[in-house]
Amino acid sequence: MQKIYSKIESIVGNVITVRAKGVANGELAVVASAGSTSFANVIKLDGDLVSLQIFSGATGTSTGDHVRFLGNPMRVSSSPNLLGRVFDGTGSPRDNKPELKEEMIDIGGPSVNPAKRIIPRNMIRTGIPMIDLFNTLVESQKLPIFSVSGEPYNELLARIALQAEVDLIILGGMGLKYDDYLYFKDTLEEGGAMNRTIMFVHTASDPTVECMLVPDMALAVAEKFALEGKKVLVLLTDMTNFADAMKEMAITMDQVPSNRGYPGDLYTQLASRYEKAVDFEGAGSVTILAATTMPGDDVTHPIPDNTGYITEGQYYLKGGRIEPFGSLSRLKQQVNSATRDDHRALMDGMIRLYASFKEALEKQSMGFMMSEWDEKLLKYGALFEEKMMDLSVNIPLERALDLGWEILGDCFEPNETGLRSDLIRARWPKHLGE
Amino acid sequence: MTRNTGRVLGVNGNMVNVEFDGAIAKNEVGYIRQGDIRLKGEVIRINGNIAALQVFEMTGGIVVGDEVEFTGEMLSVELGPGLLTQIYDGLQNPLPELARQCGFFLQRGVYLQALPNLDWEFTPTVSVGDIVKAGDTIATVPEGLFTHQIMVPFDLVGSFTVTSINKAGTYKTRDIICTIEDSKKKKIELSMVFSWPVKKAIQLYSERLRPVEPMTTKIRIIDTLLPVAKGGTYCTPGPFGAGKTVLQHATSRNAEVDIVIIAACGERAGEVVEILKEFPELIDPKTGRSLMERTIIICNTSSMPVASREASVYTAVTIAEYYRQMGLDILLLADSTSRWAQAMREMSGRLEEIPGEEAFPAYLESRIAEFYERAGIVRLHDGKIGSVTIGGTVSPAGGNFEEPVTQATLKVVGAFHGLSRERSDARKYPAIDPLTSWSKYTGIIKQSDVEQMRRVLHGSHEVNQMMKVVGEEGTSVNDYVTYQMGELLDSCYLQQNTFDPIDTSVAPERQKHVFAKLRHLMNMPLTFETKSDVRRVFNNLRQLLLDWNNTLWESDEFKAAEAALDEAFKALM
Ligand SMILES: Nc1ncnc2c1ncn2[C@@H]1O[C@H](COP(=O)(O)OP(=O)(O)OP(=O)(O)O)[C@@H](O)[C@H]1O
Ligand SMILES: [Mg+2]
């Protein structure tokens, strides 16, 4: 039996309290006022005092509104009819098509038993040397793009999504600018991928709290399809908005902040989402690519910092390029022993030399005389940035590896590279001799 | 015994307030009934007749008024044969068995027996009439590589007389194999299993010894420069992606100890999977058996409930202490202790305790100290020596070591392996900073020789700093040699490629051999005309050393590469 409660005791931020009995922690409710209704969920129980967070925000909520508990947690449809559809942060259609009520599943479900996971093994090719060669993307990886706002991170996400050979793309937009939403829609349509795409989009003009549901919604659906054998790619942009919404909620709930106002469980909250990335034994996989904009370009800010500790690497986007420093794929070693025998050595060796180039650059900027060795490094750095780092470069991994050796050969003597002699014998550009 | 009961009064995150009748104890375990399932929790505060229960599960669905059963027992683990090779969650639930029963996902409220009821070849070591006390061995069973001692439960106080003991034969883990009685003739039946509360250190030994013997890891920078001793403690702080986990995994494969316990505490599930899948396939060169046979994994990854994350490090160290009681050397690797500290912080916040720095509770420091204090090398009552070595990673916010967890840890550990972002960015692995890291232990190489290396590294660093001010042209050729010498030691000795089949583990003998060679080079009076001569010579030396590192120890290639190096040395005279 559903009981309706019509006495709201308090309204603070987006949280209301009512007195009710028999309500379960996490239960979903509908709050109805004169003109509108909104979902809310139970976040705290204290005797018969029930605290709920209102997804559409408490603006305009009145003490006379009605609260109806639904007896279940938040759910989302997981039917194949989702394909090609666009929903908002609460799972309601955004595309004027009918509401979906089939195959409803709980969001924020339990985590996968680690004993049932398998070691990721499939490289996702992107044609971008800074990814394929230096920070290989792997199926079932969770990986954010760290970037300052204004960088083309959404373009990069869309490009990888179109290039990756996946069965299903799920876009989770949080605080997405309307233009960016349209950009994704158009790009995926033009790329012929819209019929294998599902979108959960919360735009910048929607109520803040709603964006907190987007990752759970997108990931619950992704998990369901992965269990059915599909390779699913989830794009989450921008996770910083998600974290900020959480911060707002924590402050409303009088939680003691741990770092710059963010709640102490930020790590746990982010991790429970990102850890949904998985390769299921005998079924499909969930790969998560996210965008995390760094407030003030500060990678030590709690959001990118906690994210970095959770995800399996990150692509650091700066000045329209993926930076060699700060970028990392932690799963690359799972796949790059099988790509080509020089892959690992070249990938580390070239970055080590790039680090030396940066030092030389620093010396040059101080006005010091450049030694012969510094000159070589400067030449190397320029070539590296032009041929490897430029995002317009689109070549297969094998070509990128060959290119790497050509650049080394152009700039250095073999024993200046720090690479092993056996590799040099096998790969040093022939026309240059050893 | 009558069990106490209670009712749920409120829920806040994983903290549940319960009104109870009768008497309950702090750290007592209680279960919240939810229809058919029971959710486990631990009492962490009592106020009047209200207990705060930290629940080891998601608390969705709990309703005010739900019934709670208290067990009268503290949060404990089961100890006995069969622990080795197991993969447990933070509460000692066997994960593979859970997967067999529940499938892909971790189901709430399913608690399985930690130790399977297996057959063991049992050999008694006491006879009827013998007097025994807690921790004494009453029998042995072979467990993989080891002779597992069946001991009198550690919590029994006083002396007991053996009144029956089974003959040698095959028995199951949970069979009664012995009975003992106390001075009041009260009989106690013993199986091969007993439990022990995780938050209490096992202290059944006659004395603690000073950790002096090196625990080698086959990682050059550690064994040579920043050694760890058996029974010692060390920490590995570093920003994300600097290589803490890779370093711990390498250590777990190569460390010269009997048993390795890996506590994956609040980190990525995928990293545990790598161990899970790889260790059974990897052969331990020392024993010829799979690495898994000496390994136990406690795995409470970041998306698993945060309260059992808090418990997981205690579960791990308790199992370590248990095997130490058999005179074995145990290495406990915890990744990451910051996640454990954060679990304490979340709990403390929900208890509305007065927060300390960065909202960590005021008792953070003492908890960290207590944990590392459980390491140590001890002489047991039977004269055997056993040790627990603890290595913990620390994940400081923003990579800044000036934060509560790192600072509290540095106060209590014996070695500090600090990872630097600069080194990991430049792919100089392991990214342990050789200049700021320290160790209070002695390693495999003579102290004075290590000091010499350290001096060269410092000198080299200083010259490099100076060059940034005065440029290369303002640097003397001699200083430039110092600089290049340091760089050479760094790139060919301190750096080590974990993903290379040969370089990944370097035995102590080889380290000594190569180190002697490098010391010879450091002692050579080197004179050069120009800096480009220096660079040319050192580039050549680096190539020779790298290629030497790449050969199998004592193989023909090894000798040939060494001869080539000797030639190059001669040319320098
Ligand atoms: N010794 C090494 N040799 C080669 N590569 C390494 C080494 N150590 C680390 N790396 C590279 O750096 C990546 C990150 O390392 P690791 O996962 O150990 O970092 P971490 O310090 O544990 O980070 P976090 O705190 O986020 O868990 C690895 O996946 C690997 O690509
Ligand atoms: Mg790690």
Chain B: residue whose CA lies nearest to A352: B426
A–B CB contacts, 8 A cutoff, strictly below: 215
Residue B57 DSSP symbol: S
Among candidates A378, A373, A383, A374, which has minimal Cα distance to A405? A383
Q: In this structure, which amino acid lies at residue B114?
A: A
Nearest residue on chain A to B488, alpha-carbon basis: A418
* Residue B395 CA to ligand 2 centre (angstroms): 8
CATH topology of domain B5-74: Thrombin, subunit H (2.40.10)
Picking from A333, A361, A384, the residue at the C-terminal end of a domain is: A333
Nearest to A119 among B239, B273, B427 (CB): B273
Of how many residues is chain B composed?
A: 573
Ligand 1-lining residues (CB < 6 angstroms):
A 309, 328, 330, 332-333; B 238, 240-246, 267, 395, 429-430, 497-499
- Asked if B241's CB is within 8 angstroms of A313's CB, the reply is yes
- Within 8 A by CB and 6+ apart from B31, the residues are B38, B39, B40, B41, B68, B69, B71
The enclosing H or E element of A159 equals helix A153-163
The answer to whether residues A215 and A357 belong to one domain is no
- The pLDDT of residue B573 is 80
d(CA B521, CA B516): 9
Q: Which residues contact residue A103 at a Cβ distance below 8 angstroms, ignoring those fewer than 6 apart?
A: A77, A78, A79, A224
3-state secondary structure of A81: helix
Q: How far is CA B178 from CA B77, B162, B170, in A?
A: 21, 7, 14
Contact B386, B378 (CB under 8 A): yes
- Whether B270 and A331 lie within 8 Å, measured CB to CB: yes
CB contact under 8 Å between A110 and B543, yes or no, is no
Give CA–CA dist A309/B242, Å, rounded.
10
Residue B465 contacts by C-beta under 8 Å, 6 or more apart in sequence? none
Whether residue B274 and residue A256 make contact (CB cut-off 8 A), yes or no, is no
Q: How many CB atoms lie within 10 A of CB B502?
A: 14
Residue B565, H or E segment: helix B556-572
Integer Cα distance of A348 and B270 in angstroms: 23
Residues of A in Cβ contact (< 8 Å) with B60: 24-26, 73
Residues in B closer than 8 angstroms to A416, CB to CB, are 539
Q: How far apart are CA B347 and CA B339, in angstroms?
A: 12
Per-residue tokens: B267:
């980190």
Give pLDDT tens digits for B158-217: 999 999 999 999 999 999 999 999 999 999 999 999 999 999 999 999 999 999 999 999
Say yes or no: A104 and A137 in one domain: yes
Which residues of chain B make contact with A24, given a CB cutoff of 8 A?
Answer: 60-63
pLDDT of residue B83: 97
Same domain, A49 and A184: no
d(CA B198, CA B42): 12
Q: What is the pTM of this model?
A: 0.94
In the structure, how many helices (H) and strands (E) does chain B have? 14, 26
pLDDT for position A430: 80
- The architecture that CATH gives domain B207-439 is 3-Layer(aba) Sandwich (3.40)
State the distance from the centre of ligand 1 to the C-alpha of B243, rounded, in angstroms: 3
Residue-by-residue pLDDT tens, chain A, 434 positions: 567 888 899 999 889 999 999 999 999 999 988 778 888 999 999 999 999 999 888 888 888 899 999 999 999 999 999 999 999 988 999 999 999 999 999 998 899 999 999 999 999 999 999 999 999 999 999 999 999 988 999 999 999 999 988 999 999 999 999 999 999 999 999 999 999 999 999 999 998 888 999 999 999 999 999 999 999 999 999 999 999 999 988 888 888 888 888 988 899 999 999 999 999 988 999 999 999 999 999 999 999 999 999 999 999 999 999 999 889 999 999 999 899 999 999 999 999 999 999 999 998 998 888 989 999 999 999 999 999 999 999 999 999 999 999 999 999 999 999 999 999 999 999 876 55
Does the structure's ipTM exceed the value 0.90?
Answer: yes
Report the distance separating Cα A115 and Cα B86, nearest Å: 11
Mutate to test the interface with B, among A105, A254, A267, A361 (most CBs of B within 10 A): A267
Q: Which of A40, A56, A72 is the last residue of a domain?
A: A72
Beta carbons of B351 and A256 less than 8 angstroms apart: no
Our CA-based measurement puts residue B89 at a distance from the nearest CA of chain A, in whole angstroms, of 9
Phi/psi of residue A402, nearest 5 degrees: -60, -45
Residues A97 and A153 in one domain: yes
* CA A388–ligand 2 middle distance (angstroms): 28
Residues A377 and A360 sit within 8 Å (Cβ to Cβ):
yes
Of the listed ligands, the closest to the CA of B240 is 1
Q: How far is B484 from A416, CA to CA, in rounded Å?
A: 13
A15 and A87 fall within a common domain:
no
pLDDT value at residue A149: 84
Q: Are A324 and A413 contained in the same domain?
A: no
Mutation probe of ligand 1 site: the residue of B245, B249, B406 with most atoms within 8 A of C-beta: B245
CATH topology of domain B447-572: 1.10.1140
pLDDT of the residue at A59: 82
Q: Are residues A95 and A242 in the same domain?
A: yes
- State the amino acid at position A345 in one-letter form: A
- Provide the shortest C-alpha distance from residue B341 to chain A (in Å): 11
- Put simply, the answer to whether A22 touches B546 (Cβ < 8 Å) is no
Write the residue in A115, A256, A418 that is nearest to B276 by C-beta. A115
The terminus-to-terminus CA distance of chain B in angstroms comes to 85
The CATH number linked to A45 is 2.40.30.20
Beta bridge partners of A313: A329
Residue A34's pLDDT is: 76
CATH architecture of B116-192: Beta Barrel (2.40)
A413 to chain B: which residues are within 8 Å by CB?
Answer: 539
CA distance A77 to A97: 14
Residues in chain A: 434
A204 in the same domain as A109: yes
Task: List phi, psi (to 5°) of A248.
Answer: -60, -45
In angstroms, rounded to a whole number, what is the distance separating the alpha carbons of residues B168 and B149? 14
Q: Are B116-192 and B207-439 in the same CATH fold? A: no
CA of B389 relative to ligand 1 center, distance in Å: 22
The verdict on A56 and A89 lying in the same domain is: no
State the nearest Cα–Cα gap between A187 and chain B, in angstroms: 32
CA-nearest of A339, A376, A340 to A360 is A376
Provide the pairing of β-strand A168-176 with A231-237.
parallel
pLDDT of residue B509: 96
Which atom of ligand 1 lies closest to the CA of B496? 1
pLDDT of residue A126: 93
Does residue A132 sit in the same domain as residue A173? yes
Give the count of domains, chain A. Answer: 3
Ligand 1 center from residue A82 Cα (angstroms):
38
**Among A29, A47, A72, where does a domain finish?**
A72
Pocket test for ligand 1, best of A330, A335, A348 (most atoms within 8 A of CB): A330
Q: Tell me how far the alpha carbon of residue B235 lies from the centroid of ligand 1, in angstroms.
A: 16
A286 and A278 in contact (C-beta within 8 Å)? Answer: yes
User: And the tokens for B168?
Assistant: 């040698």
Domain holding A30, by residue range, is 4-72
Do residues A417 and A429 touch, judged by C-beta distance below 8 A? Answer: no
Question: How does DSSP assign B151-219, residue by residue?
Answer: E--TT--SEEEEEEEPPSEEEETTS--EEEE-TT--EEEE-S-EEEETTS----SSEEE---SB---S-
Q: Which atom of ligand 1 is nearest to the CA of B248?
A: 18
Judge whether A363 and A163 are in contact, CB under 8 Å.
Answer: no
Q: Quick one: which ligand is closest to B221's CA? A: 1
Contact predicate B514/B493, CB 8 Å: yes
Cβ–Cβ gap A258/B358 under 8 Å: yes
What are the domain boundaries of chain B? 5-74, 116-192, 207-439, 447-572
What residues pair up with B19 in beta bridges, in sequence order? B7, B50
Closest CA to B235 of B325, B337, B94, B360: B337
Judge if A285 and A399 occupy the same domain.
no
Residue in chain A closest to B466 (alpha carbons) equals A363
H/E stretch holding A194 = none
- Angle between helices B306-324 and B364-373 in degrees, nearest 10: 30
d(CA B44, CA A397): 55
Positions in chain B whose pLDDT score sits under 70? 1-2
Cα distance between residue A332 and residue B225, in whole Å = 29
